[in-house]
Structure 1
Amino acid sequence: VDPRDGSVFVADAWNRRIQKLAPDLSFVAEYAVPGWESQEIFHKPYVAVAPNGDIYASDPQMYRIYVYAADGALKAAFGNYGADMTQIGLPTGLAIDATSNSILVADADNNRVMVFPLLP
């Protein structure tokens, strides 16, 4: 949910997109997500929205997090497979912590929650 206006974002992996819905759940926009074409039912992607409107989307198959601007333009991507502090094993959940200005990534393969700074 976008904290600015209450818009709802849906990780629609089967159609390789993020859907943006108005607070009344009417369709507003969609954003294509590279890499989601190979998602399997047990590797669900997740979406979280930062206070500035940036959209963070996980790609469990590629061990990455994509960052989109509020208009859907790709801003950045980070992560690769591994167990080091900058690597992600299997991103199985995302959450934004506005108080610390960070994104939390649940990494199931490495049994940990990772913390990364939000992009400006």
Structure 2
Amino acid sequence: MTTLAGGREAGYLEGIASAAAFNQPNDLAFDASGNLLVADQKNHAIRSISPDGTVRTLAGGESGYGEGQGKAAKFDTPQGIAVDTAGNAYVADTWNQRIRKIRPDGLVSTLAGNGASGYQDGAGVAAKFNHPQGVAVDGAGNVYVADSWNQRIRKISPGGLVSTLAGTGESGFLDGREARFNGPVGLAVSKEGIVYVGDTWNHRVRKITPDGRVSTLAGNGSYGFKDGKAEAAWFKSADKLAIDARGDLYVSDPLNQRIRKVSIGSTP
């Protein structure tokens, strides 16, 4: 294991990866060119690490809300990022209560959310979120949002319509069509359109079919650490997720100081 970029001290520096500085980098996503995009939450910026190890700021760098080109845009504690096949990046701009879009040319706009915390489905900027913390995008261009304080998983269509995929809005644990979550944070989408959710304070990884049916993929709800069969595993904090080309799922479990792997092919 090696350090790709950044050092011991929090800060904000661009340039050679080993000399660059970040401030609580939270989520990661690769673009088609092999650049690693970073949601650098306390720098209120989206950073890019090129394949040759150069760190630059793709967008933002100052707390607030503003659209525009590159560094002229403003974010407030971005915590989630995902990239689509066309190279657009989607950002969970958590404290702005919005989902932002960064085009490949660096232009930042608002995809959904009107900036007021709350819950409302509907067209794009008329919708409301409550601390969105994770995003994922499928092959059809649908963007999924872990709307953490609303205890819901939201879906934004390519046309910009926001709907609720799963969750009643009540915190708790329940599978099925009336599912309940407790602090959903991380998301990943399979090639088949299955949405996986890091259901942090339920200590579980949940699974949502395209028609909105929720089940539990891994974790039995116990707080702690235990590997083994997915349904018997223990997590402390199932958080951000990533999925590989084979469909296996990786789970950050920060309170256990571990990265966990769920082998999807071996799970019922």
TM-score by length of 2: 0.38
C-alpha separation in 1, matches of 2:188 and 2:148: 15
What residue in structure 2 maps to residue 91 of structure 1?
A: 184
Counterparts of 1:105 and 1:8, CA distance in 2 = 20
For residues 22 and 50 of structure 1, the distance between their equivalents in structure 2, rounded to whole angstroms, comes to 17
- Indicate the structure (1 or 2) with the bigger Cα radius of gyration: 2
Taking only aligned residues, the RMSD between alpha carbons, in angstroms, comes to: 1.8
The CA deviation string for residues 35-54 of structure 1, in whole angstroms up to 9 with x for no partner, is 32xx3xxxx61111111111
Give a deviation string over 1:13-67, Cα, whole Å, max 9, x none. 222211111123322543215132xx3xxxx611111111111111111100111
Give the Cα separation in 2 of the matches to 1:110 and 1:116: 16
Choose which of 86, 92, 107 in structure 2 pairs with 1:26.
107
For residues 73-113 of structure 1, the C-alpha deviation after alignment (integer angstroms, 9 at most, x for no partner) is: 11334213221223211102011111x32000001111111
Which residue of 2 is the match for residue 10 of structure 1? 91
**Does 2:204 align with 1:112?**
yes
How many aligned residue pairs are there? 111
Find 1:82's aligned residue among 172, 188, 203.
Answer: 172
* Secondary structure of the structure 1 residue equivalent to 2:95: helix
2:133 pairs, out of 45, 49, 52, with 45
Letter in structure 2 aligned against 1:30: L
Aligned AA (1:35): F
Pair 1:29–1:101, CA change in 2 (3 A): same
- Please, which moves more after superposition, 68-77 or 51-60? 68-77
CA 101–30 in structure 1, closer or farther in 2 if over 3 Å, else same:
closer
Letter in 1 for 2:149: Q
Q: Which runs of 5+ in 2 are unaligned?
A: 1-82, 114-126, 212-268
Please identify runs of 4+ aligned residues in structure 1 that moved more than 3 A.
none
Identity %: 30
Which residue number in structure 2 is paired with residue 102 of structure 1? 194
What's the TM-score once normalised by structure 1's chain length? 0.80
Q: Which stretch of the first structure deviates more once superposed, 76-85 or 47-56?
A: 76-85
Structure 2: which amino acid aligns with 1:97?
S
Whether the 8 Å CA contact 1:104–1:113 is kept in 2: the answer is yes
Aligned AA (1:113): V
Bigger strand share? 1
- Structure having the larger proportion of residues in helix: 2
Amino acid at match of 2:128: P
Q: Distance in 1 between matches of 2:84 and 2:180?
A: 27
